[in-house]
Amino acid sequence: MKIIMLGAPGAGKGTQAKMIAEKYGIPHISTGDIFRANIKEGTPLGKEAKGYMDKGQLVPDELTVKILLDRVAKDDCKNGYVLDGFPRTIPQAEVLDKALTELNDKVDFAIDVDVPDENIVKRMGGRRACVTCGATYHIEHVPPKKEGICDKCGSELILRDDDKPETVQKRLSVYHEQTQPLIEYYTKKNILKTVDGTVDMMDVFKAITDILG
């Protein structure tokens, strides 16, 4: 079972991807993680990717797909995998499809965790992170015992720049411009399934598992 997770930043798709991976015994593959692993291990693909990143350039889609295919060729992926953070654009989806077709393979499900922008701005604006240990909280859903102070190490909690409303709005507009078209792309392939991401996390998970069976 090969699954692609879609959804705006802050929609909770990463959390759902991890839960799916655990339930079905398949790896959760985040492109960020596999880039870091290849660079750390000094693989030829990792060195090639690092060359682009060191110059502040984006890693080309073809190289990203090569690194991804190298990862999904490993034994732990023989029963499937959950892709989180890739593809982000139509060209990436096309390169991935072409590469999988050449291996007589294909994506089974593209799951869109749908959350309106205003919910995401509110959700991310409520996040707080510890400056020392990195623990994360939410002022509504997972508040610290003492306001502004980390339960674990007693350090100050901050609103990260990434989570500030103006930054979130920018990230959302990039998402709508680049990634939203994938919804239509996978709808045409008859593999898109949409779940309501505004409900409780476990209800979102149940909706997904009902789809996957």
User: Do 95 and 61 touch, CB atoms closer than 8 A?
Assistant: yes
Q: Is 13 a catalytic residue?
A: yes
Catalytic residue among 88, 122, 164, 193: 88
Q: Is 88 a catalytic residue?
A: yes
Q: Is 71 a catalytic residue?
A: no
Catalytic residue among 2, 13, 66, 123: 13
Amino acid at 153: C
pLDDT for the residue numbered 145: 96
Q: Which residue has the tokens 């959302």?
A: 172
pLDDT by residue, tens only, the chain of 213 residues: 999 999 998 899 999 999 999 999 999 999 888 988 999 999 999 999 999 888 888 888 889 999 999 999 999 999 999 999 899 899 999 999 998 999 899 999 999 999 999 999 999 999 999 999 989 999 988 999 999 999 999 999 999 988 999 999 998 998 899 888 999 999 999 999 999 999 999 999 999 999 999
Catalytic residue among 50, 164, 171, 193: 171
Q: Which fold has domain 2-115+172-212?
A: Rossmann fold (3.40.50)
Q: Where are the domains of the chain?
A: 2-115+172-212
Q: Is 128 a catalytic residue?
A: no
- Write down the pTM of the prediction: 0.84
Amino acid at 36: R
pLDDT for the residue numbered 32: 82
Cis peptide before 181 (omega within 30 of 0): no
Catalytic residue among 2, 71, 127, 128: 127
Question: Nearest to residue 179, comparing CAs of 9, 21, 12?
Answer: 9
Q: Is 50 a catalytic residue?
A: no
